[in-house]
Structure 1
Amino acid sequence: MTEVSLNERVADLLMDLGLIRHKSQIQSVKPLTGGVASDVALVETDQHKYCAKFALPKMRVEADWFAPVYRNKCEYEWLRLAEAIIPENTPKMFGFSEKFGGFAMDYVGGDDCFVWKEKLFKFPPDVTIAEKVGKTFGKVQSHTGESTFNSSEFLKKDVFFHMRIEPYILYTGSKHPDLKPIFDRVARQLADANKTLVHGDVSPKNILVKSGEPILIDAECATMGEPAFDVAFCLNHFFLKAVFSPQFKKGLEEASLRFFECYNEFIHWEDKQDFSRRVAKLLPMLGLARVDGKSPVEYLNPDQQEGVRQIVIPLILSPQNSILSTINAQFSGIR
């Protein structure tokens, strides 16, 4: 999408949502970078700063990777629900436009705001942020794990398949024939799961920190599914950052443990040990997916990628019995 067409879509969206009366009220539109799945823009009007978002049919990656654009509505519904549960940890939502296929939310910025991923590259992790992230996701999944939760807006399993199961699990398994039966089996389990509402992209790049509080964004993969996926997805980023920056290994391992311990307090929908074992199974698989899947992390060099393979493949073949032992095994393997 060109910048001109993005400007037009943004203006149409804000008009449709009743946020402006005339297009002339828009003072500037600035495309925001960082993701592969959407067009996102900071929109300044004469009254407010908004963030407008539209899903792309094809991801901005080298491999052919497509997904339904109505995932944009799934994300909006997740954020709107989260806003009701944890309002201090989500942007204010201003509405979704069926006509223009996008939504608007409050722009979160300022001198006291940063993207968590950027800090993790440069400094030892602030473990208190990891604790808060574990608690915020725990609260959302605890709420949606209740038998009374109305899940009718979150049954878009095809979105999760195209955005996560196919590019992360099935594709990675196809690159490792000896592991393919394991990946295929987990893919079926993920497709069938219906335990809680899943965010699907719990990554430090999708967590802003403002005034010391995490702000959750980017829930394009939201569906009812396997909560262990969200937990493993986040833990995997701590591991990969430690591979990239081994000088921060100790702090990142502590952040991993505290994230999980704080999340674990909220599990009520199933046995905690069963949950821990499933996270332990998924975590090394996602590690392999981020070097050999359709969306490899951009910061690991070839030697570091090979180091990830050497650590995670044995854990895929012989999973640990708990997530704590898996975290220990992964971090112990980093040199």
Structure 2
Amino acid sequence: METKDKPRRGMAPLLYVDEEWLALRTEEVLEPRLPIVDAHHHLWNRSGAYLEPQLAADLACGHNLRGTVYIECTSMYRAEGDPRFACVGEVEYANGVAALFASGYYGPVRACAGIVGKVDLTLGAFAEEVLRACMAHAPDRFRGIRHMAAWDASPKVNVLMRPPARDLLLDPRFREGFGKLAPLGLSFDAWVYHPQLPQLVSLIDAYPDTRVIVDHIGGLVHTGPYASRADESFREWKASLQALARQPNVFMKIGGLSMRMHGCDFIDRDLPPTSQELAQAWAPHVETCIEIFGADRCMFESNFPPDKCGVSAVVLWNAFKRLAAGCSEGEKANLFAGTAIRAYRLPEALAQ
């Protein structure tokens, strides 16, 4: 976008990435040899493209990024055929990107080494047919699905382009489809807002054999009606995390913290944040997640490009490294690569 067309800080669209603004903040890469597997990113061509070239540039930022996990974002769906199978197009696309990186064209990094697609679980038993189609189109990389359930009554919070139905996780048809995941060896990525976490606990308790990865620290919200009761929201969120952690098949992704919903205003400032500023702001959330789940069930995620609206790749991973500074070497290995490798059944060589 030309400079004259750029929105002013504080008025930028939700997914606007201003590369010139990000370039105003430069830092030396901390611990450049530490292997990293980015547990969560997207690829799309909307409100500014974030496709293979943009991904490759961020992966070459100087941190030792070894691999990534692609997470669905309703992108590259098929335009023709049975609409129930349109989502298979996204899996095909991500698998093609993975094949390009696996060719060595971009060096040793293996983007999209794991692929999490989308299947509409409200299809009930028929969801199994769509799941099998996704598996067939990426047999070496398809690991599970995400059916976003993030819903809130406030339009200031409920910002998804295609908001799900209220109480989706309680829907009997959804649960029937959810029950097809574990028998196929597939996992479920959960994207909810923190008031919905009790519903997620109920779902997991009903299907304890299904591996669940909770996205974006469980969606703690500090905007809209929650802005005036941050302490109460934090207590509710923490209690829900403790309930989730009782199930050993639940993992936690640490990231998504640069989104406005968390109440951080760095994205709207004249200068991008430093990694020190981010680490200080995020410490209560990150430390709580690690305390409750342990480093062996937590993993760092970039959530690019949404989080790139507020922070560059270099600064983001530096912030995570600052947050993990007090961890042991083994804990760091889990947080930055090992947990993602286990949760998504990725090649162990990515941690080397």
Q: TM-score surpassing 0.5?
A: no
Greater relative contact order (Cα 8 A, min sep 6): structure 1 or 2?
A: 2
Q: Which structure is higher in helix share?
A: 1
**TM-score normalised per structure 1:** 0.31
**TM-score normalised per structure 2:** 0.30
